[in-house]
A = this chain, B = another copy of it.
Amino acid sequence: MRFLHTADWHIGKTLAGYDLLADQAATFKEIEQIAKDQQVDAVVIAGDLYDRSVPSEAAINELDRELIQLNLKDQFPLLAISGNHDSATRLGIGRQWYQSTAFFLNTDFQSAFQPITIKATQFFLLPYFGLQQAKNYFHNDSLRDLNSAMKAIVKKMTSQFDPKKAHVLIAHFYASGAQRVDSDTNMEIGGLSAVDTAIMAPFDYVALGHLHSRNALKEERVRYSGSPMKFSASEANLEKGVWIVDTDSWQIDWQPLKPVHQLHVLTSSFAQLTDPQFAEQYAKDDYFVIKLTDRQVIPDVMTRLREYYPQIIILERKNGFQAPHSQVDRQAASENPLDLLQSFYEETTNNPLSKQQLKWATAALKQAQKED
């Protein structure tokens, strides 16, 4: 039995307003190709299929198309769970019918204890859950944290183990030892803290979703696949990909995914960044996080940088701003307060002043100067 382990697709996610659907569609094609090349027996998606609980119609159409391709056209069995970004109800529509073509989507806590058997492997599909769900299910209010809940869950699952088979858990939570990256924002909502990986020892493999880095854990058999795309500045240097898990040989191979558009973090001076020779080494349609080393006010900074790097998702000052204490600075400001305002607005909001805003600001400054 060989399966592909992926997670955290976050279909419908935007990066600072930029629509990623086309990139996500292209990344999906890469994953599909790996599944074909590796001749896997199943594809595991460990939660956060959508980015939002109420996804847009465009996001729904895209995920629908991807799942139809994998399951109905390519005929891969699918094993998927809901993550914290998904609405269990909305993602779960139709799941009762999906089983007929070996698409096993679990969004219900109580269905997690019924294993799905494919070849010689039992898969347990545990969706993202809140502590209260576990308390209700086990009629046990003494389950104080995620670790005690997971102990009860794993105990109940092991009671379903067929000793002749391999046992794989698919889950979506924060497992301890994991390093966090910036885009996992909602991680501890609901009082859920980290799960100790030792609790999951009865399983031969644990396919996790939630954290976006494959390096988040240093365990042989408990792994995050990470997200297939870079969704935040902290992921800029992570290699993205999927795991190919062979349950006979227990060989676990990494298959990297080529980013459709790179995400670069550039830490540099305005002068260097706007040097055409420097800028031309980057593709115009890549995404950029820019950490300016300059400390002085730079008029119209975002507009000027976007000439070279149209898709800037974050602009920040590496060394902060020059303190406006010196007489010179104050004089500079008073000489052209509108420039100062424009620059401040742009650096704060990542957008230039609109024409209307500029009009208001000009009028207000004129008024203020009169009052002087």
Residues of A in contact with B (beta carbons under 8 Å apart)? 54, 57, 60-61, 64, 68, 72, 87, 89-90, 92-98, 100-101, 103
Instruction: Please tell me if the beta carbons of A93 and B96 are within 8 angstroms of each other in the complex.
Output: no
| Cross-chain contact B87 with A57 (CB below 8 angstroms) | yes
Chain B: minimal CB distance from A272 (Å): 47
Interfacial chain B residues near A93, Cβ < 8 Å: 60, 64, 93-94
Known: A64-B93, A97-B103. 15 other contacts (CB 8 A): A57-B87, A57-B89, A57-B90, A60-B89, A61-B89, A64-B94, A64-B96, A68-B96, A72-B96, A94-B95, A97-B97, A97-B98, A97-B101, A100-B100, A100-B101
Using Cβ atoms and an 8 Å threshold, which residues of chain B touch A54?
Answer: 54
Max chain B C-beta neighbours (<10 A), residue from A54, A97, A100, A103: A97
Q: Which residue of B lies closest to A91 (CB)?
A: B93
5 closest cross-chain pairs (CB), A and B: A94-B94, A57-B89, A97-B97, A100-B100, A93-B93
Of chain B, the residue at the smallest CB distance from A58 is: B89
Chain B, residue nearest A68 (CB) = B96
By a CB distance below 8 angstroms, the chain B residues around A57 are 87, 89-90
**Cβ A60 vs Cβ B100 within 8 A:** no
A89 CB contacts on chain B under 8 angstroms: 57, 60-61
Copies of this subunit: 2
**Can you list 6 A-B contacts with CB-CB less than 8 angstroms, sorted by A residue number?**
A54-B54, A64-B93, A72-B96, A94-B95, A97-B98, A97-B101
Chain B residues near A98: list those with CB within 8 A. Answer: 94, 97
In terms of DSSP, what is the predominant structure of the interface of chain A? helix
Task: Name the CB-closest residue of B to A95.
Answer: B94
Identity of the chain B residue whose Cβ is nearest the Cβ of A89 in the assembled complex = B57
CA A89 – CA B72 in complex, angstroms?
A: 19
Residues of B within 8 A of A100 (CB): 97, 100-101
Q: How far is the CA of A60 from the CA of B87 in the complex (A)?
A: 11
Contacts of A60 in B (CB 8 A): 89-90, 93
Q: Which residue of chain B has the shortest Cβ distance to A99 in the bound complex?
A: B97
Bound CA span A346–B150, Å: 53
Contact at A72–B94, with CB atoms within 8 Å? Answer: no
Residues on B with C-beta less than 8 A from A90 are 57, 60
Bound form: Cα–Cα A97–B90 in Å: 16
CA distance A72 to B100 in the complex (A): 11
Q: Which residues of B contact A95 (CB under 8 A)?
A: 94
Q: Which residue of B lies closest to A87 (CB)?
A: B57
Please give, as numbers and ranges, the residues of chain B lying within 8 Å of A101 by CB-CB distance.
97, 100
The CA-CA distance from A97 to B105 in the complex, in Å, is: 13
Q: Which residues of B contact A64 (CB under 8 A)?
A: 92-94, 96
In the bound assembly, the distance between CA atoms of A133 and B54 in angstroms comes to 26
Chain B: minimal CB distance from A45 (Å):
16
Q: Give bound CA distance, A68 to B92, whole Å.
A: 13
> Which residues of chain B are near A87, meaning CB under 8 Å?
57
Residues of chain B lying within 8 A (CB to CB) of residue A96: 64, 68, 72
Residues from chain B with Cβ under 8 Å of A61 in the complex:
89
Chain B residue contacts of A97, Cβ below 8 A:
72, 94, 97-98, 100-101, 103
Rounded to whole Å, the gap between the CB of A83 and the closest CB of chain B is: 16
Closest to A94 in B: B94
In whole angstroms, how far apart are the Cα atoms of A54 and B60 in the complex? Answer: 12
Give bound CA distance, A94 to B60, whole Å.
10
